[in-house]
Amino acid sequence: MDQLLTQGSIRRKIIGFAIPIFVGYLFQQLYNTADSLIVGNFLGENALAAVSSNAAFIYLFVGFFMGFATGAGVVIARHIGANDPRQTSLAVHTTVAMGLAFSLLVSVTGVAVTPVILTWMGTPQEVYVESCKYLRVYFAGGTGLVMYNMLVGILQASGDSHHPLIYLVVSSLVNVALDLLFVAVFHMGVEGAAYATIISQFLSTALVAARLLRIDSSIRVDPRKVRFDPENLRFIVRNGLPTALQACVIDLSNLLIQSYINGFGGLAMAGIGASTKVEGFAFLPVTAFQMSLTTFVSQNMGAKQYDRVRRGIRFGLLCAIAIIELIGAVVFVFAPQIIALFNRNPGVVAFGTGRARVCALFYCLVGFSHVASAVMRGLGKPVTPMVVMLTCWCAVRILVLFTLGRAVHDIRLAFWIYPFTWTLSCAVYVVLLKRIHVDRIAVKA
């Protein structure tokens, strides 16, 4: 049975849905973080830089396709909220077909463009070869990553966040074990870390696929029905394309910032890369509330329970902001010790701590912006957060880099550009949220 978020206590439903997502993403974050910890301690600073500094490139490439997974989840949740099993099934099988098409595209294109992108980013020679090895293996197995996110989006749209948690725990533990085996025992270098990651991703994909093939629900997948339904494809693209473009272009701006960081050498790349890994964990509660609120709002909009939507939005925003700011305070205080877990080189720790302490106390701004963006998508207004994020988090960052960045060669610019743009997006979202009347929004999917 589909697990409806249109009934019962709002707080319990949102938190109950968010907690398994949080724990699941916590284990998922172990994928690349385990790579960085093990690689940094067993293979040294250059290998750590090769693995950790590539996050922006990976997110740029995969984030575009994950935007469509978000759009698909919104459409499926709307159909479930409206109690329409036929349209739900059509949307589910369209999502699977889209995931298969994207998987092929990610694998082929990612392997082909890796050397070009690394050269364009100005990757230092001492890091270039290892980065290329890691990324080519990673993208060759990109099918597991793309299909997992598309398939798990189907489960979460139905209100099920518990099974994805179980699958991620299993695959993440396997990932850590394989990291140690391939890197520390078999001495396979950074390629071993990449192989560990993609094997784990395929495992999680197989687990969620097995669930969808046998579940007694409107989201059950029948391989014979996997095809594109024109109407639902149009709805998914309309909801997913703005999110995909938003993710892609924002990650492009982060890629430009990474190229600026690369000019400060391998220690800066390793330290700041470790700092971004820490942020990956710190932002997990926001990610959980994003997913929870998008599904909650989508289902309740489909059921036309507008007062419930309003109360859910207020509660979700307050929780996300409070939790992320508390985490930011912890990161600020213990930044040196946390960065040293990745590598104890004083230069690496100094760069990582510098960035962490500039950004940590502003995490509340990230929380507000991301959750507000998720609410907009749940309301069926994905273009709005796309415009806000592309302007504040992309255009402004690029403008600063190509003006001030060329005049001032100072690593602190790469630190402060984030809190500055987070503040801009928050200001815009405050205005937009005050103007929204959920009962006047037409539900078309």
pLDDT number for residue 119: 86
pLDDT number for residue 50: 76
Residue 219 binned pLDDT confidence (cut-offs 50, 70, 90): very high
CA of residue 208 relative to chain centroid, distance: 18
Task: Say if residue 269's pLDDT is above 90.
Answer: no
Distance CA 401, CA 413 (A): 8
Q: Look at residue 295 and tell me if it is in a domain.
A: yes
pLDDT number for residue 149: 87
pLDDT number for residue 261: 86
Q: Look at residue 445 and tell me if it is in a domain.
A: no
Q: Look at residue 280 and tell me if it is in a domain.
A: yes
Distance CA 44, CA 6 (A): 51
pLDDT number for residue 445: 45
What is the SS3 assignment for the chain?
A: CCCCCCCCCHHHHHHHHHHHHHHHHHHHHHHHHHHHHHHHHHCCHHHHHHHHCCHHHHHHHHHHHHHHHHHHHHHHHHHHHCCCHHHHHHHHHHHHHHHHHHHHHHHHHHHHHHHHHHHHCCCCHHHHHHHHHHHHHHHHCHHHHHHHHHHHHHHHHCCCCHHHHHHHHHHHHHHHHHHHHHHHHCCCHHHHHHHHHHHHHHHHHHHHHHHHHHCCCCCCCCHHHCCCCHHHHHHHHHHHHHHHHHHHHHHHHHHHHHHHHHCCCHHHHHHHHHHHHHHHHHCHHHHHHHHHHHHHHHHHHHCCCHHHHHHHHHHHHHHHHHHHHHHHHHHHHHHHHHHHCCCCCHHHHHHHHHHHHHHHHHHHHHHHHHHHHHHHHHCCCCHHHHHHHHHHHHHHHHHHHHHHHHHCCCCHHHHHHHHHHHHHHHHHHHHHHHHCCHHHCCCCC
Task: Say if residue 437's pLDDT is above 90.
Answer: no
Mean pLDDT of 49-60: 71
pLDDT number for residue 245: 83
- Total domain count, the chain: 1
Distance CA 246, CA 316 (A): 22
Cα Dmax for the chain: 61
Cβ atoms 276, 52 nearer than 8 A: yes
Q: What are the φ/ψ torsions at residue 378 (nearest 5 degrees)?
A: -65, -30
Residue 259 binned pLDDT confidence (cut-offs 50, 70, 90): confident
pLDDT number for residue 251: 74
Task: Say if residue 55's pLDDT is above 70.
Answer: no
Of 208, 232, 224, 243, residue with least CA distance to 69: 243
Task: Say if residue 123's pLDDT is above 70.
Answer: yes
List pLDDT tens digits, range 190-212: 899 889 989 998 999 999 999 99
Q: What percent of the chain has pLDDT over 90?
A: 30
Cβ atoms 191, 137 nearer than 8 A: yes
Least confident range from 216-225, 268-277, 359-368: namely 268-277
pLDDT number for residue 360: 93
Distance CA 283, CA 300 (A): 26
Bigger pLDDT: 287 vs 335? 335
Task: Say if residue 98's pLDDT is above 90.
Answer: yes
Task: Say if residue 189's pLDDT is above 90.
Answer: no
Mean pLDDT of 59-63: 72
- Across the chain, mean pLDDT equals 86
pLDDT number for residue 96: 96
Mean pLDDT of 267-282: 85
Is the four-CA dihedral 7, 8, 14, 17 of positive or negative sign? negative
pLDDT number for residue 444: 47
Burial of 430 per CB tally in 10 Å (0-12, 13-18, 19+)? exposed
Distance CA 219, CA 88 (A): 7
Is the four-CA dihedral 132, 134, 136, 142 of positive or negative sign? negative
pLDDT number for residue 440: 60
Q: Look at residue 48 and tell me if it is in a domain.
A: yes
Q: How many residues does the chain have?
A: 445
What range defines the domain where residue 251 resides? 10-440
Task: Say if residue 247's pLDDT is above 70.
Answer: yes
Of 86, 61, 88, 59, residue with least CA distance to 75: 88
CA distances from 109 to 21, 102, 127 (A): 30, 10, 22
Cβ atoms 2, 159 nearer than 8 A: yes
Q: Look at residue 340 and tell me if it is in a domain.
A: yes
pLDDT number for residue 30: 67
pLDDT number for residue 32: 60
Mean pLDDT of 372-393: 88
Enumerate residues 6+ apart whose C-beta is below 8 A from 399: none
pLDDT number for residue 56: 64
